Amino acid sequence: MMQTDMLQSAEPVRRTLIKRAAGLSVLGIAGVIGIGTPSLSYAAALSKEERDKMTPDQIIEGLKQGNIRFHTGKPHRHDYLAQKRASAAGQYPSAVILSCIDSRAPAEIVLDTGIGEAFNSRIAGNISNADILGSLEFACAAAGAKVVLVMGHTACGAVKGAIDNVELGNLTGLLEKIKPAIDKTEYTKERVSSNDEFVDAVAATNVKLTLEELRKSDILHKLESEGKIKIIGSMYHLVGGKVDFFS
């Protein structure tokens, strides 16, 4: 029997397991099915019902657990084709992530999420602007995501560029949006881009300032004050692979 056939015949079992696991309400619900050797384990795309019963805190905990799986080298064995099939007719992501374009900081991988689990808006330096806000408003108000996670990262080139006053085409304007974080970072040692500690401190401040920008959205602010969504910051550490959540 072809592996894909086995997966399709295992579908009813998978749904049962997901329903059982739904009570745990974690992002990246794992279906574990013993098919031959070794057993196949994979995360499944969320159904609307499963996503809707999750609280923002449970979703954040799921993201934290996903990162632990990643940085301890025990990620789910994602069956992307199964996730693709489960989500093709509709998506019910539980979170929207705003993260940097850095190739070393792919949020879905470092948080061990699969297809259909999280929106991800990526832009250099994880800054906000009107178009980013529009994307996040869509994700939460129209598509039902309950967590907005801003994820900065260590050794961010955009932050270094802002510190160095780099000028390059349209990048110049983007870096201007990071510069307020430089001034607002309290740091008494060398405030230069070659100082990793300073760069990472500015990146953390930049995440906090981005959170403030997001809360200027009437839609996101209202959803947050009603307790329907949570907006949270984090920093991904390129060395070690850990994501530190701000709260």
79 vs 200 by CB, closer to Zn ion: 200
63 vs 156 by CB, closer to Zn ion: 156
Interactions with Zn ion, residue window 62-101 (CB under 5 A) = 100
Q: In angstroms, give the least distance from the CB of 66 to Zn ion.
A: 20
Residues 124 and 102: their CA atoms lie apart, in Å, by 7
Residues 82 and 148: their CA atoms lie apart, in Å, by 26
- Return the amino acid letter for 76: H
Q: Identify the CA nearest to 84 among candidates 31, 122, 43, 52.
A: 43
- The site string for Zn ion over 143-182 (x = CB under 5 A, - otherwise) reads -------------x-x------------------------
DSSP letters along 22-52, please? HTT--SSPEEEE--SSSPEEEE-PPPHHHHH
202 near Zn ion, rule: CB under 5 A:
no
Interactions with Zn ion, residue window 6-65 (CB under 5 A) = none
- Binding-site residue ranges for Zn(2+): 100, 102, 153, 156
Q: In angstroms, give the least distance from the CB of 177 to Zn ion.
A: 13
Q: For binding to Zn ion (CB under 5 A), which residues are involved?
A: 100, 102, 156, 158
